[in-house]
Amino acid sequence: MTTMTMAAALNAGLRRAMERDPSVVLLGEDIGRLGGVFRVTDGLQKDFGQARVIDTPLAESAIVGAAIGLAMRGLRPVVEIQFDGFVYPAFDQIVAQLAKLHQRSSGTVRLPIVIRLPFGGGIGAVEHHSESPEAYFVHTAGLRVITPADAATAYVTMQQAIASDDPVVFLEPKRRYWDKADVDSAVDVARAPSPWQSRVVRAGTDVTVACYGPMVRTCLEAAQSHESASCEVVDLQSLSPLDTDTLIASVRRTGRLVVVHEASGTAGLGAEVAARVGEACFFELEAPVLRVTGYDIPYPPAQLEEHHLPDLDRVLDAVDRVLAF
């Protein structure tokens, strides 16, 4: 085991994938000489060369479009979108081309592309640097969407995403880039648990708390600090396809569910989770499903983001309310 930050774990995962498969190439703004804004690609251009770690112009639509062409010629591009709010210029390429070409070509075209997307708030960034756009991509058929919660899962799931023959939107919780965890660098990725499944990260008996990405640590802290309730925390991890089997089994044990995410509540992923659990667990639920989310407003200035983002107190309040029914 090696203790490393999530950023370092992602770097190690990219490095291992590039060592294993010479068709893996990286594209993005300032990912080469600079090593990326968050230094996730630090040192990779030096070791693998400019032909495999490519500094691109500041043109997100062109970056993704070029990646699609490279994939059609047999390569496995990994694209970095520098910040979540910069993905919108590439939106047409992602949802109209990347997500649809496999079906449109009757299966003859495979697009094994990973879109790396730092997302979410909590770092005090300026406008357009703290978005939570996951619902757009989850709603788009043809894309896989995944988000790691810690360094250990980041190391493994990055390699699994690159190995996938489907296009993957890989959401990296930027506020967790500097969180440290033990990483097994010798793990056999091919034998590791599927990244497209949710996982129980803390067992409990009274209420299930479902979350993903940056909110997993927050929910674990809430579960550990609650004085009386035994909270089971489920990391959804794969947002599309959404694995509800693990979650439904948990809710059937606890009878209660709180869903937590940073994105706005209206039409957010929490609404889909609540609907699916309501359909499957109607007779087991002891209380309505509650959601703890960001507010339905444009992301606020950095000085106000702590009031916008779900925090420990808001999660604990939801747990108390769901237990009161």
- List active site positions: 129
CA 143/CA 171 separation, integer angstroms: 12
SS3 172: strand
Token pair belonging to 324: 């009161």
CA terminus-to-terminus distance, the chain:
44
State how far the Cα of 173 lies from the Cα of 219, in Å rounded to an integer.
15
Q: Alpha-carbon distance 97 to 162, whole Å?
A: 19
The radius of gyration of the chain's CA atoms, rounded to the nearest angstrom, is: 19
Sequence-ordered list of residues with C-beta below 8 angstroms from that of 34, at least 6 positions apart, any chain: none
- The first and second tokens of residue 113, run together, are 């592309």
3-state secondary structure of 160: helix
Q: Distances from the Cα of 159 to the Cαs of 94, 199, 201, 253, 323, in angstroms?
A: 21, 18, 21, 33, 40
Backbone dihedral angles phi then psi of residue 69, each to the nearest 5 degrees: -65, -40
